[in-house]
Amino acid sequence: MKRPWKALLVALLLLVPFPATASSHGSLSWVAAWGTSPTTVPASDTTSFEDQTLRQVVHLSVGGGSVRVRLSNEFGAEPLVIGEARVARRAGGTAIEPRTDRRLTFGGRASVTVPAGAPLLSDPVALPVRADSDLVVSIHLPKRTRGNTVHAFPYQDGWVAAGNATGAADITPTAVLGKWHFLTGVSVSGRGEAVVALGDSITDGAETTRGANRRWPDLLARRFQQDRRLRDLGVVNQGISGNRLLHDPNPPAGHPAEGYANYFGQSALRRFDRDVLAQPGVGHVVVLLGVNDLGHPGTSAPLSEKVGAEDIIGAHRQLIARAHAAGVRIYGGTILPFEGDTLGFHSPENEAARQQVNRWIRTGGEYDGVIDFDAATRDPADPERLRTAYDSGDHLHPNDAGMAAMAEAVPLRLFR
C-alpha cells in the first residue's frame, strides 16, 4: 500500500535548513592561532634528546577560551614517545604563570606514542588566552629521541631542561633551543577564521629582531586586533626559509648546502594541503613565493632546476585552483626586489622574470586580491632594489621597518 504522506514528509524535510555546523561563519569552532611548517633535517644535524623537557614559546595571533596543540612526528623515522606535555601562559623568560598550567591529553591519555610520519592533535583544554600573547608548550621526552621534525628558523628561543620539568613554574635550562621541535600548531576556540601566510624566509621572519614577533604576519595580526570587525581572525605563519614553489631541496653533491638545504622544506605545491588547507578554520591564504625558485638554481640547487616566469605562474595557478576547490579565498603577494643581494640571486634574467610574474599577479585577475609587497618596499629611485630604510643589509630580506611596511600594505578590506 502506498503512503503518499511519507513522500510529502521527505519533501518537507528537504526544505528545512539544517543547523549550522561548527565550521559555519559566526558559530563557535576552532581557529588556528599559531602555526609553523615542519621540515626534516640534514644529515649533519644529529640533535637528540633523552629524559629531557623541551620548553617552547609561541605567540598567539587571536585569543579564545580553550586551546588545542598539534605535535608532529611527520619527518621522524621512529615512533615519538611523549611522556607528558603541558601548556601555560608565559610569565616571562623561561617561567610560566602557574595558575594557568594545564596538562595536555591525547584521547584521554597523558603519555602517548606518535607513529613515524604522523601528526598528533591534543584534546581541548580549557585555558583562556589573549591575542598577541605568548603561550608555553612543555614536552617531556623520556626516551632517546632524534630531533628530526623541526622548524629551523623560529626567531624565538626555547629551552631544554633535565628530566620531566613540564609542570615547573620555572626551569634551569641546560641548553637553548634554536629551533621549534615537534610542535606545529595551536588553535583556540572562537568564531572567526584563519588567515594563512604561505611563504619563504621573508614571511618566516628572516633578519627580524629575535623574540620580538616583528614578522609581517605578526604585525598583520596586530592590525586585525585594532579593527573590531577583524578581531576574531587568526594569522598563521607558514613561511619556511629557503622554500620554493616547484622544487624540494636538492643541493648538489659536495656543495655546502648539503648542510642546511633540508631545512628549506617541501615545495609549496607539495605542502599546500597540510600547511594551508588543514589549518583549523582556514578562510584565507596570502601567497608570497617565487624568489627562491629564481635564485636557488646555480646557488644552492642544480642549474637543471632553473625555472622561468611561466613556470612560476603555473605553480601559482595550481595554488589558486586548490584553494578555490576547498572554498578558501587566496591573495597574491608580489615578489620583493632583490638587486645587489648578497646571496647571488639577482641577474637581468631573474629580474625580467620577477617583473613578469608581478605583472601577472597584479593584472591577471586570477587571485581573489593582490597585495603589492613590491610597491611597498622598493626604492622609488631604483625600483629593482629594496628601499634602504627597509633593507636588513643583504638587499633581499626586509628589516623590522620593512616588515611593518609589508603589513601595512595588506588591504584589510580583503578580510571583511
pLDDT the model gives residue 162: 98
Distance of CA 268 to the CA centre of its chain: 12
Q: What is the mean pLDDT of residues 323-330?
A: 98
- Strand, coil or helix: 79: coil
Q: pLDDT at residue 408 above 70?
A: yes
* pLDDT value of residue 6: 41
Assess whether pLDDT exceeds 80 at residue 24.
Answer: no
**Shortest CA distance to 330 belongs to which of 282, 382, 286, 269?**
286
Q: How confident is the model at residue 19 (pLDDT cuts 50, 70, 90)?
A: very low
Q: Which region holds residue 91: left if phi is over 0, alpha if psi is between -120 and 50, else beta? A: alpha
Confidence of residue 13 (pLDDT cuts 50, 70, 90): very low
| Residue reference for cell 549550522 | 20
Domain ranges of the chain: 35-184, 193-415
What class has domain 193-415? alpha beta
In the chain, % of residues over pLDDT 70 = 93
351-385: pLDDT as tens digits: 999 999 999 999 999 999 999 999 999 999 999 99
* Mean per-residue pLDDT, 336-363: 98
User: What is the spatial distance between Cα 84 and Cα 156, in angstroms, rounded to a whole number?
Assistant: 23
Share of the chain above pLDDT 90, in %: 93
Question: pLDDT of 210-227, one tens digit each?
Answer: 999 999 999 999 999 999
> b/e string for 403-413 if b means 16 or more Cβ within 10 A?
bbbbbebbeee
Residue 409: CA atoms inside 13 Å, Cβ hemisphere, count?
A: 24
Q: Do 276 and 328 contact (CB within 8 A), yes or no? A: yes
Mean residue pLDDT of the chain comes to: 94
Say if CB 392 and CB 402 are below 8 A apart: yes
pTM value is 0.92
Q: Has residue 26 got a pLDDT over 60?
A: no
Give the residue-averaged pLDDT of 171-186. 98
Alpha helices per DSSP H over 32-104:
none
pLDDT above 60 (res 92): yes
